[in-house]
Homo-oligomer: A and B are copies of this chain.
Amino acid sequence: MRIAVDAMGGDHAPDEIVRGALLYRASGGAAEIVLVGDPARLHASDGIGVEPATEVVEMGEHPGAALRRRGDTSIAVATRLVREGKADGVVSAGNTGATMAAALLILGRVRGIDRPALCGMLPTTKGGPACLLDAGATMDATAQNILQFARMASRFMERVHGVPSPSVGLLNVGEEPEKGGRIQLEAHELLRGAADIRFYGNVEGRDILHGTTDIVVTDGFTGNTVAKAMEGVLDVMTEGIRRDIFGGAGGKVAALVALPGIRRFRARMDYEPYVSAPLLGVNGVSVVTHGRARARMLKLAIDVAERSIASGLIAALGVAA
């Protein structure tokens, strides 16, 4: 097994990306790694090769335009390795839009899947992850698209996260089946009738973090805005705790006393083990991780790619079609 890693993508590329690859190998990872990027900044080592790519898609750049204008970006070169069978999957912490665009343009879609979906993986209070999708790949999703998202996420949670028969909730404004707009009403019916998923019913925004269901499906517009709004609350609360509660002299003393508790809290909020997820619906394993990934998160993203490949995820996604 061989996994291509976009060594130039992400806020801490290439150094932390390289460290992540080394960490993966040192921890006994089964796959060989190919680091894709500037050869002057990358070095081959045991089980780690280098594939040169001269360009990078920057974080703020328009993904489609960047890929059209410059053929030799690290994400395009890495994704082409997968298409050409020289790698079994690709991992990137770079511009998510560019990773998606490269996957769609270069790998194409899985047969039977009309539109791709991105998983937003979140920690839950009951422990373990929940998968919110689509987190931003397909804006104007139809009910049929949402059904396909539910199927793909079910196979993903079964195979990559070992959740047997994962439950699926439809994100809605209330639990009752008659809630929501046109798309939700239609999607509810389709999901209820699908034999290859375990449909729980409607869930609300506050259910996501409680892990009411293993999977929460919605269109890419709603999923993306909800995920970013949740991130915003998290940031504001974290900053408030740091500044208001533990800032100043008294606060610093309190922080020392509360240290074991702060560590407990952090451990509970640690989403690094599952934040990375493949873009579902493209014809190859293309794992997206956070732009702020450092070595540990990158290593864990490679783990996700490895499990996706080893479990035959891509072939399973087309089964329902």
Interface segment, A100-108, A232-240, A289-297? A232-240
Shortest Cβ gap from A14 to chain B (Å): 26
How many copies, total? 2
Cβ contact within 8 Å between B233 and A209:
yes
**CB-CB under 8 A for A254 and B261, given A225-B218, A233-B233, A269-B240:** yes
Near B by CB (< 8 A), chain A positions 207-256 give 207-210, 218-222, 224-237, 239-241, 244-248, 250-251, 253-255
In the complex, whether A193 has a CB less than 8 A from a CB of chain B is no
Cβ contact within 8 Å between A244 and B228:
no
**CB-CB under 8 A for A245 and B265, given A181-B140, A184-B221, A237-B237:** yes
In the complex, whether A172 has a CB less than 8 A from a CB of chain B is yes
Cβ contact within 8 Å between B209 and A236:
yes
**CB-CB under 8 A for A233 and B227, given A180-B221, A261-B254:** no
Shortest Cβ gap from A258 to chain B (Å): 4
**CB-CB under 8 A for A230 and B233, given A182-B140, A245-B261:** yes
Cβ contact within 8 Å between B250 and A257:
yes
**CB-CB under 8 A for A225 and B205, given A246-B258, A254-B258, A261-B248:** yes
Q: Which of B208, B230, B233, B241 contacts A241 (CB 8 A)?
A: B241
In the complex, whether A264 has a CB less than 8 A from a CB of chain B is yes
Closest to A204 in B: B228
In the complex, whether A315 has a CB less than 8 A from a CB of chain B is no
Shortest Cβ gap from A303 to chain B (Å): 26
A205 to B226, CA, bound (A): 7
In the complex, whether A163 has a CB less than 8 A from a CB of chain B is no
Closest to A227 in B: B205
Cβ contact within 8 Å between A261 and B232:
no
Residues of B within 8 A of A320 (CB): none
A205 to B139, CA, bound (A): 15
Give 16 pairs: A residue, B residue, CB < 8 Å, sorted on A: A140-B181, A171-B225, A173-B220, A205-B224, A205-B231, A206-B228, A210-B236, A218-B225, A222-B225, A229-B229, A240-B268, A240-B269, A246-B258, A250-B257, A250-B258, A255-B258
Q: Chain A residues in contact with chain B, CB under 8 A?
A: 62, 125, 136, 139-140, 171-173, 176, 180-182, 184, 204-210, 218-222, 224-237, 239-241, 244-248, 250-251, 253-255, 257-258, 260-262, 264-265, 268-269
